[in-house]
Amino acid sequence: MSDSTDEWLQPEYSLVSVRLVTINEADRLYAEKKYTEAIAAYKTCIESGLVGGNEHKLEVYNRLGYAHESDGLHDLDTALEWYTRAIDLCPNRETAARALNNRGNIYWARNELELARADYDRAIALKPDSIKLHNRSKVYCELEQHVMELADLQRAVSLASDSKEIDRYTARIKEIQSMEMEA
């Protein structure tokens, strides 16, 4: 064997190579929406200790939640568990905001509006954006708290970067304002 081959076989080099290939493979499967395969790959990475650091684990747990939530699997209970695990890793970090928003979406789908609102509140406090504000505005709509819904939608418009988003939020704002005039 040549020195370069021997060097590659040293543990620090082989572990890095395996880690990148395994995580990259899981990410590729996830991106291709092959969620069942991605779930298996991510779990293998976690079980073998290849996912290091809470920030990285949080992202992998969030992807596992999303994969279980996907149309093909629609396993909301397991998705909820993965989102909760992600949140528990770093409950007060910006990176938890996506998992909080995703868990809020499951609570929303189950009509558990107060739990959804609480998760959206925390997600917005950690990292506000137009999507999270829009999601919380839907809860306020269902709770018939239109003043709060309107405030969230107006803030969402100010943060949105996509013209279709802005148009959708603006249309709803006009509906609310029209309802207020009729009342």
**Cα–Cα distance for residue pair 132/10, rounded to 1 Å:** 46
Q: Are residues 165 and 103 in the same domain?
A: no
Domain membership of residue 165 as a residue range: 129-183
Q: Are residues 166 and 180 in the same domain?
A: yes
CATH number of the domain residue 50 falls in? 1.25.40.10
Q: Are residues 163 and 178 in the same domain?
A: yes
Q: Are residues 44 and 102 in the same domain?
A: yes
Residue 168: pLDDT above 90? yes
Q: Are residues 137 and 150 in the same domain?
A: yes
Summarised one tens digit per residue, pLDDT across range 125-139 is 999 999 999 999 999
Q: Are residues 140 and 111 in the same domain?
A: no
Summarised one tens digit per residue, pLDDT across range 91-127 is 888 889 999 999 999 999 999 999 999 999 999 999 9
Give the chain's domain count. Answer: 2
Q: Are residues 85 and 114 in the same domain?
A: yes
